[in-house]
Amino acid sequence: MTRIKSVRTRVWNWTGPTVPPAGNFCTNASDVIHRGGDAMGSFRFHQWLTCEIETEDGTIGIGNAALAPTVVKKAIDDWFAPLVIGEDPFDYAYIWEKMYRRSHAWGRKGIGMTAISAIDIAIWDLMGKLAGKPVFKLLGGRTKEKIPVYYSKLYSGPVESMQAEAEEAKKHGYTGYKMRFGWGPKEGMAGLRENLKRVEAVREVIGYDADLMLECYMGWNLDYAKRTLPKLAKYEPRWLEEPVIADDVAGYAELNAMNIVPISGGEHEFSVIGCKDLIEKKAVSVLQYDTNRVGGITAAQKINAIAEAFQVPVIPHAGQMHNYHLTMANTNCMISEYFPVFDVEVGNELFYYIFEGDPEAKNGFLQLDDDLPGLGIVITDKHLQHFEIEE
């Protein structure tokens, strides 16, 4: 047995070129308080945290987190690293409970659970490397010949540019596309018409044999969503994502109960209990936790079992290996989200500039390697010139 001997956290601050967001780029939770200036402030992730856990025999497992990296780094360095050093990584359930219960007063959601997630993902990468198996083989194995993915970008912009982007994406064989809304309650009916215009325009390009997902990123409210849903029905959306803020679980449940368009969410929910509540309250028809927020692979796999029992499909937020392995190992996770590789805009793209190994989608699918131990990613130095790193 080889025990954990160190935990190394680094914050990667992107200093490279970024694509400035156009106006009405994507609704978000700050819109309701926005009084000019940078409406996207709460939205931009131009930092990432890596968490490397090394065992006595020199094996290193890699975890990561994208939410509030500097604060998560402090939480890991000060609180969680001392709890895991000296432990056997294969006691991962014990380690998870130890982190969860020793930080229970403040760590059940947000920063604390994100820190737990980064450590837990590193531990599963470690276990895979130590066992000589890919993580999905430790979770349930290959449930799919390959993973279908949906194209996730189409931020709101001029109709013509959204149609051109959808046209380009179509050439890559995707069978699902997620677009973002640019207008919300503050822009009233005029904004709502702009939203509907773009849904219609994207549908014109992708047709009706492909899935179309609609993303609000918490930028609407219950009243606006209730009035908009009937107008969206004719476009047959696969789901309407995060129409209200994450705390408005009753709002989610009311919209989902309208049964007009399936409501999805969960990327801003934390822990097994948090996701169980969303499912039990029928707040979502599609659950979208992110493994690097919800509690890592240990928590995500427990949530997958609960979701399967309730027959609520799980399609994790974001692509990235920490989510792909769960999708491969669970029949209730049918498809994955996929951010195409592009210039740094919101920050979801940073994963491609820090890690190597994330599979590229081919003709609407991606593949994992049965013989590549762990998660199958390494930290690359190829783009170091565009980062300032905080050890």
Chain positions contacting Mg ion, by CB under 5 A: 241
d(CA 3, CA 24): 50
Choosing from 317, 322, 344, 373, the residue that interacts with ligand LVD5IZTE (CB under 6 A) is 317
The number of helix segments (H) and strand segments (E) in the chain equals: 14, 14
Choosing from 215, 269, 349, 358, the residue that interacts with ligand LVD5IZTE (CB under 6 A) is 215
Query: Residue 266 CB, nearest distance to Mg ion (Å)?
Result: 9
Query: Residue 241 CB, nearest distance to Mg ion (Å)?
Result: 5
Complex with ligand LVD5IZTE: residue 302 or 317, whichever CB lies closer: 317
Query: Residue 346 CB, nearest distance to ligand LVD5IZTE (Å)?
Result: 5
Query: Residue 211 CB, nearest distance to ligand LVD5IZTE (Å)?
Result: 14
Binding mask 328-367 for ligand LVD5IZTE (x = CB under 6 A): ---------x--------x-x-------------------
Return the sign of the alpha-carbon dihedral for residues 243, 246, 251, 254: positive
Residue 13, token pair as written in the block: 């601050």
Cα separations (Å) of 246 from 87, 88, 110, 351? 35, 35, 12, 24
Choosing from 133, 137, 144, 180, the residue that interacts with ligand LVD5IZTE (CB under 6 A) is 180
Q: Rounded to the nearest 10 degrees, how much is the dihedral formed by the CA atoms of 82, 45, 314, 156? A: 170
Complex with ligand LVD5IZTE: residue 137 or 178, whichever CB lies closer: 178
Query: Residue 130 CB, nearest distance to ligand LVD5IZTE (Å)?
Result: 32
Q: Which residues are bridge partners to 346 per DSSP?
A: none
Complex with ligand LVD5IZTE: residue 40 or 71, whichever CB lies closer: 40
Near ligand LVD5IZTE in 145-164, by CB under 6 A: 152
Query: Residue 268 CB, nearest distance to ligand LVD5IZTE (Å)?
Result: 9
d(CA 216, CA 344): 21
Count, residues near ligand LVD5IZTE per rule CB under 6 A: 11
Complex with Mg ion: residue 137 or 268, whichever CB lies closer: 268
Complex with ligand LVD5IZTE: residue 31 or 54, whichever CB lies closer: 31
Near ligand LVD5IZTE in 6-35, by CB under 6 A: 26
Considering only CA atoms, which of 321, 281, 283, 282 is closest in space to residue 300? 321
The 8 Å CB, 24+ separation contacts for 255-263 are: 255/222, 255/225, 255/226, 255/229, 256/282, 256/283, 256/284, 256/285, 257/282, 258/226, 258/229, 260/229, 260/230, 260/232, 260/233, 261/214, 261/229, 261/232, 261/233, 261/237, 262/237, 262/238, 262/286, 263/239
Residue 15, token pair as written in the block: 């200093």
d(CA 228, CA 10): 43
Choosing from 125, 267, 349, 358, the residue that interacts with ligand LVD5IZTE (CB under 6 A) is 267
Query: Residue 159 CB, nearest distance to ligand LVD5IZTE (Å)?
Result: 19
Residue 109, token pair as written in the block: 């959601």
In the block, residue with structure tokens 């920050």: 347
Q: Which residue out of 46, 104, 172, 317 is catalytically annotated?
A: 317
- Catalytic residue flag (residue 317): yes
Cβ proximity of 198 and 182 under 8 Å: yes
Complex with Mg ion: residue 241 or 269, whichever CB lies closer: 241
Complex with Mg ion: residue 129 or 180, whichever CB lies closer: 180
Q: If you ran DSSP here, which 8-state letter would residue 372 be given?
A: S
d(CA 68, CA 115): 10
Does 165 contact ligand LVD5IZTE by CB under 6 A?
no
Count of Cβ atoms closer than 10 Å to residue 261 Cβ: 23
How many residues in total does the chain contain? 391
| Catalytically active residues, by annotation | 317
**Which residues would be at the binding site for ligand LVD5IZTE (CB under 6 A)?**
26, 152, 180, 215, 217, 267, 317-318, 337, 346, 348
